[in-house]
Amino acid sequence: MSHHAVDLIRAKRDGRELSAPQIRWFIAGYTKGAVAPEQASALLMAILWRGMSARELDVWTDAMIGSGSRLDLSTVPLPTVDKHSTGGVGDTVSLALCPLVAACGAAVPHLAGRGLGHTGGTLDKLEAIPGFRVDLGAEGLIAQLRDVGAAICAAGEDLAPADRELYALRDVTGTVESIPLIASSIMSKKIAEGTAALVLDVKVGRGALITDLASAEELARTMVGLGEDAGVRTAALLTSMDAPLGRAVGNGLEVREAVEVLEGGGPADVVEVTLALAEEMLALAGVDVDAAAALRDGRAMDRWRRMVRAQGGDPDGPLPAAPLVAELRTDRAGAVEAIDAMEVGLAAWRLGAGRAQRHHPVSPGAGVVLRVAEGDAVAAGQVLAELHAEEPERMETGIATMERAVRVGDAASPPGPRVIGRVTGD
């Protein structure tokens, strides 16, 4: 049956459901270049305003998966489980979490992405390690899962290619915030990845894509439903991203912090989220092992070192360091009332840790290291943060942004827990 893009745009504009054949035609047509970008943009904007029914979303996501190939992980002898974060500031969790869960007896095929704007990318962080390779291919991924139990690498070009095309369009048409489109984008890639179970870390707050709890809960429920409908055991944790997670924001700086966690230290909030996600992942994988014990006794660190070596990296190699370091100090005594995650993320981006467009390079040593946390008492002249950059002009803009990020007042309450909600498919 022949379809016309204008008919789909009008139907969705007027609040009508799209049929399964219409959706499959559109996804295939835009991926292959048969639907014009301006027509696809109009349909995406109509979806942003009108939403999608559960039936439409199931078909849309399945069509995105069907635009490419699916990984077959059936030869991996361990239960497979992955995690996905919706993105935040200082979110270094994956680096410690994947080897931790592997050390407990599950296989973690973590296909990750690159950073854009104020949110960091796991692949950029790992490439700060000397020699680390993120392009493994399907055969290399499976071989590493069988040997090491964990791999963090780039998704292949044929994994949900429709999502790659549509995301690029959403990024420049103001349609990124649509919950159905966010959910289908994330879940099409994760379902195509072939993992048997998945835990979602849905960030909510000033530094997250979703800033209010109600919308974050809706996104979590939508994604869990898509996973369960596709036969993937799925759960979600909602975690706070008003303040940055941990102290380090920047690629090499975050690797250093992840290693501290694997050594049994690191910031308490990073450990909290890491262990909470690990417990959810192991439960879905059917593995009854104490993740906290594996972190304390060195098993997770051993697995990290094996993973890094397997991907060509040197776990003992020096991490990149930016040549310019500046300190941000407070001019008054008091307490840290707030640290704005968005402003810290923007500061790190302006220092060179992030990119404005996908093809831009990043500075692996650039970023911010916070020396205080919300609720801390501070003295006049105390260092609030260190800023790392390669170029003086970047340092100037980074300092100006960081001056807005940390608010010192007369008194402050200690921060609350990072894990603030849970959604399951039960």
Q: Is the residue at 424 inside a domain?
A: no
Would residue 185 show up in a list of annotated catalytic residues for this protein?
Answer: yes
**Is 361 within 8 Å of 314 (Cβ atoms)?**
no
Q: Which residues lie below 8 Å from residue 315, measured CB to CB, with a gap of 6+?
A: 129, 304, 305, 308, 309
Stretch 111-135: mean pLDDT, rounded? Answer: 83
pLDDT at 360: 72
**Is 248 within 8 Å of 367 (Cβ atoms)?**
yes
Residues 206 and 225 in one domain: yes
Residues 147 and 255 in one domain: yes
Q: Which two tokens stand for residue 288?
A: 């009854």
Q: How many whole angstroms separate alpha carbon 111 and alpha carbon 53?
A: 28
Q: Is the residue at 289 inside a domain?
A: yes
pLDDT tens per residue across span 157-211:
889 999 989 988 887 888 888 999 999 999 999 999 999 999 999 999 998 889 9
121 pLDDT band, cuts 50/70/90, is confident
Which CATH number fits the domain that encloses residue 189?
A: 3.40.1030.10
Residues 266 and 156 in one domain: yes
pLDDT of 104 over the 60 cut:
yes
pLDDT at 176: 84
* Identified catalytic residue from 189, 203, 355, 418: 189
Q: Which residues lie below 8 Å from residue 233, measured CB to CB, with a gap of 6+?
A: 196, 197, 198, 227, 284, 425
Q: How many whole angstroms separate alpha carbon 279 and alpha carbon 282?
A: 5
pLDDT at 414: 86
Would residue 83 show up in a list of annotated catalytic residues for this protein?
Answer: no
**Is 151 within 8 Å of 141 (Cβ atoms)?**
yes
Name the residue with tokens 């799209």: 18
* Identified catalytic residue from 94, 178, 184, 185: 185
114 pLDDT band, cuts 50/70/90, is confident
What percent of the chain is modeled with pLDDT above 90?
84
* Identified catalytic residue from 170, 203, 206, 303: 170
pLDDT of 358 over the 70 cut:
no
Q: Which two tokens stand for residue 126?
A: 């790992």
Q: What angle, rounded to 10 degrees, do the helices at 251-262 and 93-103 form?
A: 30
Q: Is the residue at 58 inside a domain?
A: no
Across-strand partners of 249? Answer: 368
Q: How many whole angstroms separate alpha carbon 315 and alpha carbon 131?
A: 10
400 pLDDT band, cuts 50/70/90, is very high
pLDDT of 354 over the 90 cut:
no
Name the strand (E) or helix (H) holding 88.
none
pLDDT of 356 over the 70 cut:
no
Closest residue by Cα to residue 86 from 5, 179, 16, 225: 179
Amino acid code (one letter) for 178: S
Residue where one domain finishes, among candidates 261, 283, 316: 316
Would residue 170 show up in a list of annotated catalytic residues for this protein?
Answer: yes
Which CATH number fits the domain that encloses residue 405?
A: 3.90.1170.30
Q: What are the b/e assignments for 31-48, b being 16+ CB within 10 Å? A: beeebeeebbbbbbbbbb
pLDDT of 426 over the 80 cut:
no
pLDDT at 246: 95
Q: Is the residue at 62 inside a domain?
A: no
Q: How many whole angstroms separate alpha carbon 243 and alpha carbon 221?
A: 24
Q: How many whole angstroms separate alpha carbon 397 and alpha carbon 375?
A: 26
pLDDT tens per residue across span 411-421:
888 888 999 99
Residue where one domain finishes, among candidates 289, 316, 343: 316
pLDDT of 115 over the 70 cut:
no
Residues 31 and 157 in one domain: no
* Identified catalytic residue from 82, 163, 201, 340: 163
120 pLDDT band, cuts 50/70/90, is low
Across-strand partners of 80? Answer: 107
* Identified catalytic residue from 24, 84, 306, 355: 84
Residues 335 and 306 in one domain: no
Residue where one domain finishes, among candidates 285, 316, 347: 316
Q: Is the residue at 271 inside a domain?
A: yes
Q: How far is CA 9 from CA 16, 24, 201, in A?
A: 10, 14, 33
Residues 349 and 297 in one domain: no
149 pLDDT band, cuts 50/70/90, is very high
Stretch 275-288: mean pLDDT, rounded? Answer: 98
**Which domain range does residue 282 map to?**
81-316
pLDDT of 355 over the 80 cut:
no
Q: How many whole angstroms separate alpha carbon 251 and alpha carbon 229?
A: 36
